[in-house]
Amino acid sequence: MSHLFLCRVYYEDTDLAGIVYYANYLKFIERARTEWVRGLGIDQARLKDETGIVFAVRRLEADYLAPARFDDELEVETAVARIGGARIVLDQSVRRAGADCFSARVTLAALTGSGAPARLPADLRERLAAGA
C-alpha cells in the first residue's frame, strides 16, 4: 500500500527555463511524507512532546528522470521499503501524467531532541507498517 499526494508546480518552483529547480523535488517529497504520517493519525508535534522523538533524513538517493514544468500537476507516491528499530526507509516518486520525473530512496532516523538515535515505540512501528 502506498500514499499519494498531489501538488502543483508554481512559478516559484521553477528556474529561468520554466522547469522545476532540482532542490524543489526534495520539498515535494517532504510534504508528501508529512501528509503520509498525518494520514496515519500520527501527530509529529505530539510525538515530540510525549516521547521526545523527531525524524530526520539520514540518507537520500535521488534520480532526476524527466523535467516537470510550471503549472504541471504532480503526484507524489510514498511507500515503505523497510522499518527498523530506529529507521524508516521509504521509496518516493514524483510523476506527471503517469510519467516518472523523480525518484528517491529516503532513510529517516528517529532521534531524541539532543540528536541521539531513538528506538521507535512498538505501537508507532505498527502504525507506520500499516501504512505500507
Supply the residues annotated as catalytic: 15
Question: Under a CB-based contact definition with an 8 Å cutoff, are residues 54 and 48 in contact?
Answer: yes
User: Which amino acid is present at 10?
Assistant: Y
CA distances from 7 to 4, 32, 34, 37, 72 (A): 10, 9, 13, 17, 9
